[in-house]
Amino acid sequence: MHFLIRMLLRVYWLAMVVTQYLGRPKKKVENRGFHILLTGHFFSLNWAQAHLQPLSLSPQCGRLRIVTTFPLPRLPKVEVVRPPSILMRIFGATPARLMTFFAVALVNRPDVVGGFHLLMNGMLASLLAKMIGVRSLYFCVGGPAEILNGGILSENRLFSRLKRPDPHVEKLLLKVVSTFDVVVVMGSGSARFFRARGVRADFHIVSGGLDLDTFHPRAGEEEFDLIYVGRLVPIKRLHLLLEAIYVAKSVYPAISACVIGEGPLLQQLNELSIRLGLQPNVKFLGYQSDVTSWLRRAKIFMLTSISEGLSLAMMEAMASGLPAIVPAIGDLEDLVSDNENGYLISDPQPELFARRVLELLTHPDKLSRFSISARTSAENYSIAHAVGQWNCILDSQRYAGCSFASI
């Protein structure tokens, strides 16, 4: 598998070199809104809206088309393009989506083409941009995990088959990142990761936009002490969450937690919960369309991931007044200030997570103080703020001499 992926990347890079010479000159953007074409697979409605809505609301965006199979709602200036059903039946959802993205880009030649995640959406977007002479945009929503060790933790079906880290594949992927006109990362940790490895792309931090009228602090009695919202996948390291609850239960027997989300590890996590005797304490609630109401019924948000960008679920939780107990990784430190609005755990051991959970549950005054601070911190991530960031990014692509905030 390592040999196959290396060869595919070399072929891809050869195509990039050829396209660099044979592709069309870069298209000029006149004094009008940008026509932007994106593709991606989204894991939740809130996640999709947090990234697409601020971009579409920017006055610099004239038209936003998104090729996806995800059921998106109506958004201003956003047109959803779905792959033809016959393509999906023959090739499967993801190949059909990428083929449709390719075709729409060739026919319409927008001003910007981009993808959420590098593998394979971003890679195709970069190649397409050079082929048709437009700007390329990469949303690095997964953080360093999309590239680190060859993308082994990326959850991409091909690259996740690597059985061990591959520095050569990582190096090739970093070269791909360097080809983009704009790279949008979720936080400063991701930008530092790429800079430390010599990538000199135009980086911007846009963590998404929160509707602060929707996500606001709770009122009344909370039902759950802890809440997790996200996919049930290996990179989230949810066994650690259950083990921390098990440790905390020995001191705080009535501790309660809910896990919201779907994924391949559901059965395995249920079995671990049974082995630890946590059935009365932990509820697996599956997918929930209204995450907001569940956040208002909890006291503390918790993550135990191996790698993260700036978690949107955490941003929403903190906007809802929940302190966050999370590992000191990725971009999480951009929002979580240790011992102010949550806790950063530098050594991912269940005992350390449990200790911080108990610190808040057994000190209501501290929990209340952290809750207020969490909301205040999250207010810096409003939709209006993200719209302003997109205005700056797109304006920088229109006028070469424009002054703008980049990393």
The per-residue pLDDT for range 347-381, each reduced to its tens digit, is: 999 999 999 999 999 999 999 999 999 999 999 99
**Residue that wins the pLDDT comparison between 403 and 106:** 106
Across 140-146, average pLDDT:
89
Across 315-334, average pLDDT:
95
- pLDDT computed for residue 220 by the predictor: 66
- pLDDT computed for residue 25 by the predictor: 81
Phi, psi of 37, deg, nearest 5: -120, 125
pTM of the model: 0.87
Would you tell me how many other CB atoms lie within 10 Å of the CB of residue 224? 20
User: Apex CA 97: angle with CA 149 and CA 121, to 5°?
Assistant: 30
Phi, psi of 363, deg, nearest 5: -130, 80
Q: Where are the domains of the chain?
A: 31-209+383-398, 224-380
pLDDT band at residue 406, thresholds of 50, 70 and 90? Answer: very low
> To 10 degrees, the CA torsion angle through 48, 50, 52, 54?
170
pLDDT band at residue 217, thresholds of 50, 70 and 90? Answer: confident
Tell me how long the chain is.
407
**The domains spanning 31-209+383-398 and 224-380 adopt the same CATH topology:** yes
pLDDT over 90 percentage in the chain: 72
Share in percent of the chain as helix, strand, coil (round to 5): 45, 15, 35
For 20-46, letters b (16+ CB in 10 Å) and e give: eeebeeebebeeebbbbbbbbebbbeb
> What span, in angstroms and rounded, lies between the C-alpha atoms of 102 and 58?
25
| Closest C-alpha among 123, 330, 90 to residue 207 | 330
Q: Which residue has the tokens 């996640």?
A: 47
pLDDT at 23 over 90: no
Taking every pair of Cα atoms in the chain, the longest distance, rounded to a whole number of angstroms, is: 68
- pLDDT computed for residue 400 by the predictor: 42
Domain 224-380: assigned CATH number: 3.40.50.2000
What DSSP state is assigned to residue 403? -
DSSP states of 160-173: GG-SS--HHHHHHH
- pLDDT computed for residue 345 by the predictor: 97
Query: Which residues, other chains included, contact 397 with Cβ-Cβ below 8 Å and sequence gap of 6+?
Result: 29, 34, 112, 135, 181, 182
H/E stretch holding 381: none
pLDDT at 404 over 70: no
In contact, 189 and 293? CB cutoff 8 Å:
no
pLDDT at 402 over 80: no
Q: Are strands 282-286 and 257-260 parallel, antiparallel or unpaired?
A: parallel
Across 23-38, average pLDDT:
86
> What span, in angstroms and rounded, lies between the C-alpha atoms of 369 and 139?
34
Would you tell me how many other CB atoms lie within 10 Å of the CB of residue 97? 24
DSSP states of 260-278: E---TTHHHHHHHHHHTT-
Pick the CATH number of 31-209+383-398 from 1.10.3720.10, 3.40.109.10, 3.40.640.10, 3.40.50.2000: 3.40.50.2000
pLDDT band at residue 263, thresholds of 50, 70 and 90? Answer: very high
**What beta strand segments (E) does 238-356 contain?**
257-260, 282-286, 298-302, 324-327, 342-345
Would you tell me how many other CB atoms lie within 10 Å of the CB of residue 273? 21
What DSSP state is assigned to residue 118? I
Strand-pairing partners, residue 224, are 298
- pLDDT computed for residue 399 by the predictor: 60
Across 382-403, average pLDDT:
80
- pLDDT computed for residue 407 by the predictor: 38
